[in-house]
Amino acid sequence: MRFIFAGFGGQGVMLMGQILAYAGMIEGKNVTWMPSYGPEMRGGTANCTVVVSDDQVASPVVDKAEVVVAMNIPSMLKFQDYITENGYFFLNKSVIDREPDRKDDVKIYKIQCNEIADELGNLKVANMVMLGAVIGATNIVSKESVFKALEKKLTGKKSELIEINKKAIEEGIRKAREQ
């Protein structure tokens, strides 16, 4: 399964992808994580591609993705045509106040990431709310694997943030399954 995570620099889209890839690795799957990089990362749009597969991952570069996650409007517009037929389109409703052009042949999930994160007490975990939604809808990896990935990734001082990130994941899963 191919994923594109996209948003503003600072929305944590890179980490979203990394946690998913890490969780995939924990489950013994083959994974790659590939960032877009360059000057545009500073305050501009950022995106990364994740492939999770039972087979060897040949190309880390994708021109189609089963899942596109857009955390802002430019990302929604840029990547909507990448989605395969009947693929998943996740939109951060807190930021995206309009409809995508691509909607008839894809499964759309609109998640109020920022508000949910805010209620949990830290706006920064909006990305993990969205990642939870992705997992809840696609079942690509288990919640437990994502939790393990968080524990691997958030070490040292950042380990204080593991709990709230877990809560965000759980909330995201719940929201996706409601839809």
Partner 1 sequence: MEKVMVKGTEAIGEAAIRAGCRHFFGYPITPQSELPEYMSKRLPEVGGVFLQTESEVATVNMLYGAACTGTRVMTSTSSPGFSLMMEGVSYMACAQLPAVFVNVVRGGPGLGDIQPAQGDYWQATKGGGHGDYKLIVLAPSTVQEAVDLTVLAFDLADKYRTPALILADGLLGQMMEPVEFPEFRDLETLPDHSSWALTGANGRKPHIVTSFDIDPYVLEKMNLELVEKYKEIEKNEVRWEEFKTEDAEIIITAFGTVGRIAKSVVEMARKDGLKIGLFRPITVWPFPYKPLEELAEKVEMFFDVEMNMGQMLEDVRLAVKDKKPIAFYSRMGGVVPTPNEIYEALKKEIGRRVK
Residues 6+ apart with CB under 8 A from 35: 14, 17, 46, 47, 48
Q: How far is the CB of 64 from partner 1 (least distance, A)?
A: 7
CB-side exposure of 133: number of CA atoms within 13 Å?
32
Contact pick of 42, 54, 61, 156 for partner 1 (by CB under 8 A): 61
Asked if residue 43 binds partner 1 (CB under 8 A), the reply is no
β partners of residue 111: 92
Q: How far is the CB of 132 from partner 1 (least distance, A)?
A: 20
Residue 86 structure tokens: 């009947």
Rounded CA separation 74/76 (Å): 5
Q: Does position 41 bind partner 1 by CB under 8 A?
A: no
- Confirm or reject binding of residue 33 to partner 1 (CB under 8 A): yes
Region near partner 1 per CB under 8 A, out of 62-70, 71-79, 91-99, 159-167: 62-70
Interaction of residue 89 with partner 1, rule CB under 8 A: no
Is 34 a binder of partner 1 (CB under 8 A)? yes
* 79 lies in the binding site for partner 1 (CB under 8 A): no
- Does 3 bind partner 1 (CB under 8 A)? Our answer is no
Using only C-alpha atoms, the chain has a radius of gyration, in whole angstroms, of: 15
Which position among 10, 44, 60, 121 is part of the footprint of partner 1 (CB under 8 A)? Answer: 60
Nearer to partner 1, 60 or 121 (CB): 60
CB 1 within 8 A of CB 51: yes
End-to-end CA distance of the chain: 21
* Phi and psi, residue 70, nearest 5°: -110, 120
Q: What is the closest distance, in whole angstroms, from the C-beta atom of residue 40 to partner 1 in the complex?
A: 11
Nearest alpha carbon to residue 127 among 81, 98, 90, 102: 90
Binding site for partner 1 (CB under 8 A): 18, 21-22, 25, 30-35, 37-38, 56-64
